[in-house]
Amino acid sequence: MIENASQVQRATDDILNSLLEARTRTLDLVSDLNEEQLMGPRLRIVNPLRWEIGHVAYFQEFWCLRHFRGRRSILTESDSLYDSARVAHDTRWDLPLPSLRDTLAFMRQVLDQVADVNQSSTDKEIDGYGQNYFLQLALFHEQMHAEAIIYTRQTLGYTAPGFRAQGIHVPSPSKNVTASLKGDALIPGGSYVLGSATGREFIFDNEQSQHLVQVKPFAISRTAVTQGEFAAFVDDGGYRRRELWSEAGWLWRQSQGAEHPVYWLREENGSWLRRQFDQWVKLEERRAVLHVNWYEAEAYCRWASRRLPTEAEWEIAASYGSADDPGVTGGKRRYPWGDQQPSPEHANLDWRAMGCIDVDELPLSDSAFGCRQMLGNCWEWTSTDFFAYPGFKPGPYKEYSEPWFGDHKSLRGGCWVTRSSMIRNAYRNFYTPDRRDVWAGFRTCAL
């Protein structure tokens, strides 16, 4: 028991340190913005950033102090301001939000109290969930909102974020590059385990429970689709060819007047530029295409006589594989390269490159089947609707997954902004198929 208690305490200390680091990054992401930018225009796909950072603190206070510790809220009106399940998105610009100064004070007070009351571990549980579960939930929630703040800055054309706080450093991307990677990885059919097992590790409810799936043999591209490859689709009139689009996709394209990816601009000489925050840069032939939605990915696949992978196929290609033992008995990997924690040589995560890198980089990222960069760089759309796994039971934060089943699509793999502490092969993300603002691309499968 002493060893177990010591292990729990070390885990608590690690999460508290990560919460401090995450808060530093959150504040860095908004520290250079003025009052007008912190509220921004009223758009369906973003939040006012002053509301968003207050919500991050509210969520941490609610689960770590109010729910688990039985404390009262520091702000008596916090539920009516920051509860995202009850405060309609369109009203968040009209709320009597605290000033920036008071918002930052609220954030400091919450984090100070969380750090103070959780210095010692406790055996207390609520419905089977202990102290570290709620600390981890608050940490991942803040890390996800940091990603949202960055794509908000991209959406609104703000400057790229800078990390000036002590201890934060964004190294240059790895230059460990091989020749252009082409072709497909061949995945044998069979029985595989999908999802994550419950245990001591924090697992979101939508990854549970582990279950067997049967798949037929398939071939999946070794890399994500590149900007150059997607430009060929655009230049071939892909956005104007009705036969390439589903009915829902064509209705979306017509409603938006879309002729190319959202942040692209054609120069007079016919070449393409794309906007990276507030800067226009030339299209990079071998960089992963970004900011394309599910409909655009589906239309590209039809043009290329390909298809999107299913969610199961994506996870299998990332998690399994050897010529001798490709299936369940060969063991499931946590990451494409094995069980070693992500490093800069394995994945473009944690803002390391401040953008996407070429899809041919990072050969150490390869899965056993030979797929590159399945974690990091860009989220990847799958063909699968986001639904519960068999035996699904919602976690304490019931609004996390269940409300979104059925009308969202599953994405996998993380992006250059995603935190390495959170991502793994089995992690499931989900967005509606019309979203172009997130850092999403895709890879394809043979028909």
119 vs 239: CA distance, rounded Å: 56
The pLDDT-based confidence of 168 (bands split at 50, 70, 90) is: very low
Per-residue tokens: 225 = 């689709």
Give Cα 349 to chain centroid, integer Å. Answer: 10
* pLDDT digits 0-9 by tens, 329-353: 457 999 999 999 999 999 999 988 8
| Contact partners, residue 119, CB within 8 Å, separation at least 6 | 16
Q: Which domains does the chain have, with CATH numbers?
A: 2-155 (1.20.120.450), 175-447 (3.90.1580.10)
Q: Name the burial class of residue 91, with classes exposed (0-12), middle (13-18) and buried (19+) by CB atoms within 10 angstroms of its CB.
A: exposed
The fraction of the chain above a pLDDT of 90, given in percent, is 85
* pLDDT digits 0-9 by tens, 90-102: 999 999 999 999 9
Residues 330, 188 contacting (CB under 8 angstroms): no
**Distance from the first to the final alpha carbon of the chain:** 54
The pLDDT-based confidence of 8 (bands split at 50, 70, 90) is: confident
398 vs 394: CA distance, rounded Å: 5
Convert 111-143 into a string of H (helix), E (strand) and C (coil): HHHHHHHCCCCCCCEECCEEHHHHHHHHHHHHH
373 vs 244: CA distance, rounded Å: 28
Local structure of 194: helix, strand or coil = strand
Local structure of 248: helix, strand or coil = helix
Could you tell me which of 49, 60, 47, 50 has the C-alpha nearest to residue 91? 47
